[in-house]
Amino acid sequence: MRYRFLFLDRDGVINKKIENDYVRTWQNFEFITGSLEAIRGLRGLFDRIFIVTNQRGVGKGVMTELHLKDIHDRMLRQITESAVNIDGIYSCVDIFEESSCRKPNTGMALLAQRDFPEVDFSMSIVVGDSITDMEFGKRLGMKTVFIGTKYRISNELIDIVEGSLFDFYLGLFNDRYKNLLY
């Protein structure tokens, strides 16, 4: 099976996460080393790439939707300068866990599917750095890639563990994932 759709978390996957705080402005945003190169390479392997990101800081009032839009516009500009197109960014600014759009709930993916009806979750991979990202993917029948070293132990929600998005990209070119992805 060829996977066609890629869902990426933002903080901790594309850009450095600020522990116990939020990326509030563009000045706080810093791409993780290799993430732009990984996205460029992944673009050639997937039909659609989406960013799905919980942004509770807006709902809490520590940043505005205008700040979030500015961050995403500038991030997309830099990604586009790397000759890559992202098909959509879906953000959930709600503070309540019950919100249908807040991961691990599936609302952001369903919005992507509404905008791009060809999206088939059984042919999708989600890459994230939290268990809620993994649960989001599993609820939809996606393969899951956990970025980081926090969960090196076995977890039924995680299909693959990698140190970074770039490591995941490189892993697609060797037999490491053969049994999991194909």
Distance CA 110, CA 88 (A): 12
Place of tokens 């809490």: 60
* 30 close to 148: Cβ distance less than 8 angstroms: no
User: Which of the residues 11, 94, 129, 159 is marked catalytic?
Assistant: 11
Distance CA 118, CA 80 (A): 23
- 115 catalytic? Reply is no
Q: Which residues pair with 87 in a beta bridge?
A: none
β-sheet with 160-162: strand ranges across: 88-92, 48-54, 5-8, 124-128, 143-147, 160-162
- 133 catalytic? Reply is no
Q: Which residues are catalytic?
A: 9, 11
